[in-house]
Amino acid sequence: MIIHLNKAKDLIFCDDVVAVPTETVYGLAARFDSEIAIQKIFSLKKRPKDNPLIIHLGRYEDILHFLKSEDEDLLKLAQYFWPGPLTIVGQIKKETILPCARAHLETAAFRVPSHPLALELIRETKPLVMPSANLSGRPSATRVEHVLHDFGEDFPVIDGGDCRSGLESTVIAKINGSCQIVRSGCLLMDDIADVLNYKPLVYKKNDSLVMSPGMKYRHYAPKAKLSFFSEKDNFSEQIVVGFLEREYPGAKRIYHLGSLSDPQGISKNLYHVLRQLDHDLIEQAFIDMDFPREGLFKIICERLEKAAI
Ligand code: TXA
Ligand code: MG
Give CB contacts under 8 A, 24+ apart, made by 122-126. 122/56, 122/57, 122/58, 123/58, 123/59, 124/5, 124/9, 125/9, 125/12, 125/13, 125/31, 126/31, 126/32, 126/33
Give the model's pLDDT for residue 296: 97
Question: Looking at the DSSP assignment, which residues form a beta bridge with residue 201?
Answer: 180
Give the model's pLDDT for residue 220: 83
Angle at CA of residue 301, ends 296 and 304, nearest 5°: 125
Decide: 78 and 66 in contact? Cβ < 8 Å.
Answer: no
CA of 185, closest atom in ligand 1: 1
Q: Which ligand is nearest to the CA of 210?
A: 1
Query: Measured in Å, how far apart are the chain's first and last C-alpha atoms?
Result: 33
Q: How far apart are CA 282 and CA 197, in angstroms?
A: 46
Q: Is 168 in a helix, a strand, or coil?
A: coil
Question: Where on the phi/psi map is residue 190: left (φ > 0), alpha (ψ -120 to 50), or beta?
Answer: alpha
CA of 109, closest atom in ligand 1: 26
Nearest CA owner, ligand 1 atom 10:
131
Output DSSP code: residue 67.
Answer: B
Nearest CA owner, ligand 1 atom 19:
215
CB-count burial class (<10 Å; 0-12, 13-18, 19+) for 96: middle
Q: Which ligand is nearest to the CA of 108?
A: 1
Q: How far apart are CA 226 and CA 228, in angstroms?
A: 7
Residue 283 Cα, ligand 2 centroid: separation in angstroms? 23
Residue 194 Cα, ligand 2 centroid: separation in angstroms? 27
Angle at CA of residue 216, ends 17 and 102, nearest 5°: 45
Question: Looking at the DSSP assignment, which residues form a beta bridge with residue 27?
Answer: 20, 132
Tell which one of 24, 44, 87 to mutate to probe ligand 1, the residue whose CB is within 8 A of the most ligand atoms.
87
Q: How far apart are CA 27 and CA 147, in angstroms?
A: 9
Model pTM score: 0.95
Residue 229 Cα, ligand 1 centroid: separation in angstroms? 30
Tell which one of 49, 122, 171 to mutate to probe ligand 1, the residue whose CB is within 8 A of the most ligand atoms.
171
Q: Which ligand is nearest to the CA of 119?
A: 1
Give the model's pLDDT for residue 207: 52
Give the model's pLDDT for residue 236: 77
Decide: 213 and 50 in contact? Cβ < 8 Å.
Answer: yes
Q: Which ligand is nearest to the CA of 134?
A: 2
CB-count burial class (<10 Å; 0-12, 13-18, 19+) for 244: middle
Give the model's pLDDT for residue 149: 97
Tell which one of 86, 168, 302 to mutate to probe ligand 1, the residue whose CB is within 8 A of the most ligand atoms.
168
Q: Which residues line ligand 1 (CB under 6 A)?
A: 22, 24-25, 27, 51-54, 85, 87, 89, 102, 105, 107-109, 113, 130-132, 168-169, 171, 173, 182-183, 211-212, 214-215
Q: Residue ranges of the chain with pLDDT lower than 50?
A: none
